[in-house]
Amino acid sequence: MPYAIVLSFDEESSLLIYKIFNKFKDKKIGSMLYDPKLKPHITLSTYEKINTQSAKDRLMLFSIENKPFKIQVSSIGYFPVEKSVLFLNPKASNELLNIQQKIFSLFKDFESATSPSTWVPHCTLGMYLQKEDITKAIDIIKEEIVITEENPFYIHTKSISFVKFEREPLKIDWWLDYPLKG
């Protein structure tokens, strides 16, 4: 089973994203994000194998040394791949890039499936979207999130999290949060 290290959001940010998940579910758009253990997040790195106790210890220290921050969402994005992923596209701020780089460095002794040069920060809203559902999904997102230059939209981070999951179908085995305190 693979593992992920992710940035989890505060309650207000998460509730808004859960609202979108639930509207997708009600309208049968996509088929991925319905595991009740899944929390809105931005994945920083993934690993096929990792020493879980070592990772927990490192993340505990990391959470003490790093503070929560806000992430500006710049747009709605789409990966036109087999899984057709629709996501919130965060602005690649120095804070976000630095956090990912710190995690990558902190876990450099484990083989990551991601690297800073290939990492695309995003908050997945839906997967396995049919072509005809993409416009409907975007309309739902636009009902909930208005992104303009005059009115930017922010997600607020709350914790660094360690997740054990199954890929197909997506199922969360466990999710451990370490509140950012720095």
CATH number attached to the domain at 3-179:
3.90.1140.10
Separation in Å, CA 165 to CA 39, 55, 65, 168, 176: 12, 15, 26, 9, 12
| pTM assigned to the model | 0.92
Q: How far apart are CA 21 and CA 32, in angstroms?
A: 9
Q: What is the DSSP letter of 114?
A: -
Beta strand pairing status for 153-166 and 70-79? antiparallel
Backbone angles phi, psi at 138, to 5 degrees: -60, -40
Nearest to 43, CA basis, from 10, 108, 87: 87
pLDDT by residue for the chain (182 residues), tens only, comes to 799 999 999 999 999 999 998 999 899 888 666 677 889 999 999 999 999 999 999 999 999 999 999 999 999 999 988 778 899 999 999 999 999 999 999 999 998 888 888 899 999 998 888 888 999 999 999 999 988 888 899 999 999 999 999 887 778 899 999 999 98
What are the structural domain ranges in the chain? 3-179
- Copy the structure tokens of residue 10: 């505060």
- Residues paired with 154 in a beta bridge: 72
Nearest to 156, CA basis, from 12, 1, 6: 12
Radius of gyration of the chain (CA): 16
Q: How far apart are CA 164 and CA 5, in angstroms?
A: 9
